[in-house]
């Protein structure tokens, strides 16, 4: 596992959620030369974005539970204990956006809005 997926506090992943996945794939592949690799996940297909064969992020179609959410990029920060960070974020005034969620074969994540209104996700990877 790459160091960025192990280091507490490091930005480790970014992903695009969009309502037009085909158009997004075409745009970013033409813009940056990214390629995509489809990955079947529980109830969905996830697209890993690659730059020179290195995984640099992902993109996915907007899931039904997020319908109406505008397309956006999300950033993930690696943490040693996502449950502890979620509890501390809430104690510091954060609002839960996506509750603690297990992602099979990936890890456990949590998305919150900080007291100033910015949204970010934290994740503890399974193979940390």
Distance CA 65, CA 80 (A): 28
Q: What is the mean pLDDT of residues 14-39?
A: 95
* First CA to last CA distance, the chain: 7
Query: Is the pLDDT confidence value at 2 over 90?
Result: no
What band does 1 get if pLDDT is binned at 50, 70 and 90? low
Q: What is the mean pLDDT of residues 80-94?
A: 97
120 with 97: CB under 8 angstroms? no
Q: What is the mean pLDDT of residues 47-70?
A: 92
Distance CA 118, CA 54 (A): 28
Query: Is the pLDDT confidence value at 128 over 60?
Result: no
Q: What is the DSSP letter of 114?
A: -
* Structure confidence at residue 112 (pLDDT): 97
Closest CA to 119 of 4, 1, 7, 15: 15
What domains appear along the chain, each with residue ranges and CATH number?
3-125 (3.10.180.10)
């Amino acid at each position: 596992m790459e160091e960025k997926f192990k280091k507490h506090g490091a930005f480790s992943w970014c992903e695009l959620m969009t309502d037009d996945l085909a158009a997004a794939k075409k745009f970013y592949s033409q813009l940056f030369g990214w390629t995509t690799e489809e990955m079947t996940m529980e109830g969905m297909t996830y697209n890993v974005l690659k730059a020179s064969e290195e995984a640099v992020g992902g993109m996915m179609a907007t899931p039904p539970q997020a319908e109406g959410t505008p397309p956006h990029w999300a950033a993930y920060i690696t943490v040693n204990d996502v449950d502890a960070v979620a509890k501390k974020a809430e104690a510091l005034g954060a609002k839960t956006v996506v509750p603690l969620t297990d992602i099979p074969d990936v890890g456990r994540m949590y998305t919150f809005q900080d007291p100033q209104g910015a949204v970010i996700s934290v994740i503890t990877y399974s193979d940390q």
